[in-house]
């Protein structure tokens, strides 16, 4: 490591103190949202244009507000359309942002990006896709967290009552690895054309690594993944494990192996879903009692979704057989997709 050869900015600490006082930060250094930077972010758009009303504060998110948060997060102007589309998606009632933003659980929005915009703005889709080091992914994800704090008023300890939280509250944004996927991408599966750029917001409760470097057949891989989804502590009031729309991130090697056995994405979902069952009697007695009181009396087993098609499979990541299961929030949420209008 070498020392920075440029001139020291003696006002940096002062500016950071002022920014942390004026805005609700996330603990990381902030970029000053001065008039020049915000104008560049808007790129001629009307700052007063209303994008959505955001819970839990139910304040209106204008283009100008979002631009300020984008600058604070370090976004490039080319990323701005992704943010406005994501904000619109999060405001959809089915996403249930009021619940996600205020729960004592660990729910947080995750963004999945598809289409030409991925290449245009340099979003990362392969190795270490959930890790850091990729500016577009990191700054877009971070901007969403700042938007929720500064516009939505999801303030930790006041309205955001998360007991522990999770890293995705700082930001979580990935692109699907469409190049290395043998299957149609998520946005096409959800009714968009391949030429459209789309953001899908998912309310996730965390992530679980799924490691199976031994299985060489689809049944074995599906068994490993399914058993990794059976988390008793995620048994929600819906009678399911989690929010009923679980997200499966499969690396290209897993997807290729399943595809080589002739499975399309729907068949891969079915193979996982039919094996993802937890016997209800394995729950703690008090949890069983709560489920009986809620009317869940007939099920001998608990599933991770009502039907196989409720699973979301996204191909992402690089070399290796390490997949990930991201349960959706058990308080009730559905993934929402919006076109990105660049």
The verdict on residue 7 lying in a domain is no
163 in the same domain as 123: yes
Note whether 231 and 118 are same-domain residues: no
Is residue 214 included in any domain, yes or no? Answer: yes
Do 179 and 230 reside in the same domain of the chain?
Answer: no
In a shared domain, residues 182 and 233: no
Does residue 24 belong to any structural domain of this protein? yes
Tell me which residue range forms the domain holding 53. Answer: 15-204+335-342
**Residue 8: inside a domain:** no
Do residues 189 and 226 both lie within one domain?
Answer: no
Calculate the average pLDDT of the chain.
Answer: 95
Looking at the domain assignment, is residue 1 inside a domain? no
The Cα 335–Cα 173 span in angstroms is 14
Same domain, 260 and 151: no
Q: Are residues 188 and 242 in the same domain?
A: no
Say how far apart CA 287 and CA 289 lie, in whole Å: 5
pLDDT at 108 over 90: yes
Per the structure, how many domains does the chain have? 2
DSSP code per residue over 194-246: TTS-EEEEEEE---EEEE-SS--SHHHHHHHHHHHT--GGGB-TTSSBSSS--
Task: Confirm whether 2 is domain-assigned.
Answer: no
Q: Identify whether residues 75 and 137 lie together within a single domain.
A: yes
At 237, the pLDDT band (50, 70, 90 cuts) reads low
Same domain, 184 and 47: yes
pLDDT digits over 249-270, tens only?
Answer: 999 999 999 999 999 999 999 9
Tell whether 218 is covered by a domain: yes
Q: Is 284 a member of any domain?
A: yes
User: Are 215 and 310 in the same domain?
Assistant: yes
Answer whether residue 296 shows pLDDT above 80. no
pLDDT band at 99 (very low <50, low <70, confident <90, very high): very high
> β-pairing, 198-204 with 208-211?
unpaired
Cβ pair 316, 125 in contact under 8 A: yes
First-to-last CA distance in the chain? 39
The pTM (predicted TM-score) of the whole model is 0.96
Indicate whether 216 and 189 sit together in one domain.
Answer: no
pLDDT band at 73 (very low <50, low <70, confident <90, very high): very high
Q: Are residues 119 and 26 both part of a single domain?
A: yes
Contact predicate 78/320, CB 8 Å: no
């Amino acid at each position: 490591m070498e020392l920075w050869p440029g001139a020291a900015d003696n006002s940096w600490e002062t500016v950071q103190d002022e920014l942390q006082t004026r805005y609700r930060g996330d603990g990381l250094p902030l970029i000053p949202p001065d008039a020049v930077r915000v104008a560049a972010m808007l790129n001629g758009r009307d700052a007063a244009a209303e994008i959505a009303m955001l819970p839990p504060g139910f304040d209106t998110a204008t283009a100008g507000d979002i631009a300020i948060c984008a600058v604070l997060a370090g976004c490039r102007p080319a990323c701005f359309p992704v943010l406005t589309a994501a904000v619109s998606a999060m405001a959809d009632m089915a996403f249930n942002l009021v619940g996600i933003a205020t729960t004592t659980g660990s729910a947080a929005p995750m963004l999945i990006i598809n289409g030409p915009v991925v290449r245009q703005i340099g979003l990362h889709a392969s190795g270490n896709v959930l890790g850091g080091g990729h500016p577009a992914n990191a700054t877009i994800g971070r901007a969403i967290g700042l938007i929720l704090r500064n516009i939505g008023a999801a303030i930790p300890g006041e309205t955001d009552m998360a007991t522990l939280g999770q890293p995705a509250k700082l930001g979580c944004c990935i692109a699907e690895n469409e190049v290395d996927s043998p299957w149609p991408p998520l946005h096409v599966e959800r009714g968009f054309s391949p030429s459209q750029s789309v953001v899908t917001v998912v309310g996730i409760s965390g992530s679980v690594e799924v490691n199976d470097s031994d299985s060489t057949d689809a049944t074995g891989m599906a068994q490993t993944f399914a058993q990794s989804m059976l988390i008793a502590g995620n048994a929600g009031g819906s009678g399911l494990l989690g929010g009923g729309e679980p997200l499966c991130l499969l690396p290209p090697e897993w997807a290729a192996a399943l595809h080589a056995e002739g499975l399309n994405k729907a068949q891969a979902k079915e193979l996982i879903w039919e094996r993802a069952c937890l016997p209800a009697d394995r729950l703690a007695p008090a949890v069983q009692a709560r489920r009986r009181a809620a009317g869940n009396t007939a099920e001998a087993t608990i599933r991770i979704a009502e039907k196989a098609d409720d699973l979301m499979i996204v191909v992402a990541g690089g070399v290796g057989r390490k997949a990930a299961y991201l349960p959706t929030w058990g308080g009730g949420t559905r993934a929402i997709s919006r076109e990105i209008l660049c």
